[in-house]
Amino acid sequence: MMRVAFLALMGLQLGASPGAGEERRSYVVTGDAIMQPLVGGKGDPARGAALIADRQRSLCTLCHSGPFPDAHLHGTLAPDLTGVGARLSEGQIRLRVVDMKWLVPNTIMPSYYRVADEQGRRVATVWRSKPILGGADIEDIVAYLTTLKG
Ligand code: HEC
């Protein structure tokens, strides 16, 4: 099955958060994965690890535990990300970070790069109150998580 999420309009203003103002590219969801990187170039795993450790910026460790610094601060609301790179493919991890709601409509996990809902409507407003990661940030995070094999 292949569904296309539509391109968000260019020049969309998303407030002052990191990644704001970046043009959001469309992506194609194939099954439960996004096979193509959101941006060109390879993600940087070291930067991805730093982003995940940055609670203010990514919020990941508010909910997830894993092989990250400050384990005593990790949340327990979500699956432990230890070994996630062995459980899920790169494309599966990418869709989960981009838009977990695609798979679990009532999830508490923020959609970090969602451009459209199931009907293809633009969903820009929901980002205003949420952490915003750019496509390159997400590729860095994906590159890091795929290294977590054990
Ligand atoms: C508000 C809580 C919350 C935040 C913040 C959050 N997640 Fe999640 N995440 C979840 C929940 C809950 C699930 C499990 C799916 C579900 O049941 O909703 C999940 C699932 C996942 C999965 C799939 C794991 C698996 O084993 O299937 C990945 C990968 C993931 N999150 C990565 C991230 C990353 C990377 C960040 C930060 C950029 C993040 N999450 C931020 C709550 C969160």
**Residue 4 CA to ligand 1 centre (angstroms):** 22
pLDDT over threshold 70, residue 14: no
Give residue-wise pLDDT tens across range 83-100.
999 999 999 999 999 999
For residue 141, the ligand 1 atom closest to its alpha carbon is 35
Q: Contact, 22 vs 134, CB < 8 A?
A: yes
111 C-beta closer than 6 A to ligand 1: no
Retrieve residue 53's tokens: 């450790």
**Residue 40 CA to ligand 1 centre (angstroms):** 24
Give residue-wise pLDDT tens across range 59-91.
999 999 999 999 999 999 999 999 999 999 999
Cβ–Cβ contacts within 10 Å for residue 40, how many? 8
Pocket test for ligand 1, best of 51, 62, 64 (most atoms within 8 A of CB): 64
